[in-house]
Amino acid sequence: MIQDIENSNHYIADEGKVFKRIHNGFAELEEPMILGNELYLGDIIVDNNGKRLRRPIPDSIEYYTEIDIPVEEDNESVEENDAPAEEDNVPVEENNIEEQNEEEAV
């Protein structure tokens, strides 16, 4: 992980990694949130119950960890199976033109 020199609240995950939020300033999260590969820290303004805090508390890099980018196996298999065959990619107009040419030749 790299911390931005010009903005100390900006962090960039290592290559092939993303950030996962494991704590919210009050307690460990039951369902950690997976974020992107860049993180900007700010203030925490709500508690665990979603109630607005009287005073915001600063977010901390300690509330996050880096993990490998998750692979969604279901999406990959769907994409592979849904890809049309090359012969299906021929535009309809081309087929019509060939049929017209054959009819004109007869």
**What type of residue is 106?**
V
- pLDDT for 104 equals 53
Amino acid 23: pLDDT: 78
* Domain chopping of the chain, boundaries: 2-105
C-alpha to C-alpha distance for 59 and 47, rounded to whole angstroms = 12
pLDDT band at 17 (very low <50, low <70, confident <90, very high): very high
pLDDT > 90? residue 82: no
pLDDT at site 102: 52
Please give the model's pTM, rounded to 2 decimal places: 0.59
Cα separation of 28 and 36, whole Å?
20
The predicted structure's pLDDT at residue 90: 47
Locate 100 and state its tokens.
Answer: 């017209």
Confidence class of residue 45 from pLDDT cuts 50, 70 and 90?
confident
- Name which residue leads in pLDDT, 47 or 26: 47
**Distances in whole angstroms, Cα of residue 23 to Cα of each of 45, 49, 63, 81, 91:** 14, 14, 5, 39, 53
Mean per-residue pLDDT, 42-53? 84
